Amino acid sequence: MKVLDYILERVSRGKVHMTLIDPEKQPPRAAASLAEMACDAGTDAIMVGGSTGVTQDAMDATVTAVKASGTVPVILFPAGASSLSRHADALYYMSLLNSRSTQMIVGEQRKAVHAVKGWGLETIPMAYLIVEPGMRAGEIGKADPIPRGRPDEAVEWALTAQFMGMRLVYLEAGSGAPEPAPPAMVRAVRDAIQIPLIVGGGIRTPAAASALVRAGADILVTGTIVEQTKDAARLREIVAAVKKG
């Protein structure tokens, strides 16, 4: 089964949780333990990536370790063409639509084509939209972040993505953001588009997770909470809040 079909099937049955693991934050063996913990907690997929210069070797080592200890698909979430791995199950072929840099919209994507084609890696077209504050992802991506009080702007970007054929839309407040994307923005986007909506960045509590899924997010992504606390109970509570919808 293709990973996109797996995601769409899960989304059709309920809310979905994904865990982000950044290869820069810990060695591969520790990443494997995090993946195991996340799978035990009920996460539906592991995303591997980070905002800053992860080398292909680091990606390969982490993806291989995570695949060996996890039980769910491993999807690349790369900052650019130099941080890919042939060992993943799929690659989010992301375009940072609200970047000021063509490199982040189509340039890195163009650089990646030969490796991706050669490896036969599944590509999942995804629009990546940075919402204030955006954190490192916003800086590295040279984004003009969507203001938190402008759900209408988020709707315009998300519809642009859908009309261009993207299969997923990701509203990203940035890893470690003080607060996630506003639920009112999530609701406005959910009401406007027909494709699944991913929300990530700054989700640390079951209450925040509940508010976002109730606002209409189909998929929630958490990273920092697992990496920093390694708290399996906290992660289980967040996944449970997501699944409860």
Q: Which residue ranges make up the site for ligand 1GP (CB under 6 A)?
A: 20, 137, 172, 175-177, 200-203, 221-225
Q: Three-class SS of residue 230?
A: coil
Q: How far is the CB of 49 from ligand 1GP (least distance, A)?
A: 8
Minimum Å gap between C-beta 166 and ligand 1GP is 17
Smaller CB distance to ligand 1GP: residue 120 or 189? 189
Q: How far is CA 135 from CA 70, 81, 224, in A?
A: 28, 21, 13
Closer Cβ to ligand 1GP, 62 or 175, answer by number: 175
Cβ atoms of 106 and 151 closer than 8 Å:
no
Give dist(CA 96, CA 136) in Å, integer: 13
Measured from the CB atom, is 129 or 177 closer to ligand 1GP? 177
CB of 20: closest distance to ligand 1GP in angstroms? 5
- Helix or strand holding residue 95 (H, E): strand 90-96
Query: Which one, 107 or 176, has the nearer CB to ligand 1GP?
Result: 176
Q: How many angstroms separate the CA atoms of 194 and 19, rounded?
A: 24
Closest CB to ligand 1GP: residue number: 200
Q: Give the CA count within 13 Å in the CB-facing half-sphere of 135.
A: 18
Residues making up the chain, counted from first to last: 245
Minimum distance between the CB of residue 169 and ligand 1GP, rounded to whole angstroms? 13
Q: How far is the CB of 151 from ligand 1GP (least distance, A)?
A: 19
